Copies of this chain bind each other. A is one copy, B any other.
Amino acid sequence: METIGTALTGPVLTRLPKGKDLVEALTEAAAAIKATKAQITVIGALERAKLGYYLQDERRYIDFALDEHVEILCGLGNISLKDGLPFVHLHLTLSRKDCSCLGGHAVAGNIIFAAEACITPVAGPALERGFDEPTGLYLWK
């Protein structure tokens, strides 16, 4: 039977520290509330950004560095377990000075200017990632 203790604590709003890597900061914010299974959203701004795109045919990510101040229009993702440890999977939609948009998978290198996150714990058994042969990705088993 599923425990629903986690879900009943409800979502948490938290400010993330300036100058820190976004994925790292989210990982720490989740750990602080003991969330190992959660939905994440975030808005704010970055001092610079680094985004990934998955080449579905070549089964590898390519990165795109953006040395520019950008707004975080939408950071959306989740936390689950990978190799037994909490793992943040986050996609980012960003905007530039002219309001044009850029986006991708958040890799290391997104440096926070200001960020407001909402972490919503999800109840039930642990959710674990494992290698998925058809895609080459680590997906939920």
Contacts and interface: CB of A to CB of B under 8 A. Distances in A.
Interface centre among A12, A43, A103, A105 (most CB of B within 10 A): A103
Contacts of A18: 134-135
B137 A114 contact: yes
A41 interface: yes
Contacts of A124: 12
A135 B118 contact: no
Given A7-B8, A74-B93, 4 more contacts: A39-B118, A45-B56, A95-B104, A118-B120
Given A73-B92, A76-B43, A103-B73, A8 B11 contact: no
Per assembly, the copies of the chain total 3
B95 A102 contact: yes
Contact of A69 (B56, B101, B127, B134): B56
Contacts of A99: 51, 53, 64, 66, 102-104
A74 B93 CA distance: 8
A67 to B, nearest CB: 13
Contact of A77 (B15, B43, B102, B113): B43
A105 B71 CA distance: 8
A63 to B, nearest CB: 10
Contacts of A104: 71, 73, 95, 99
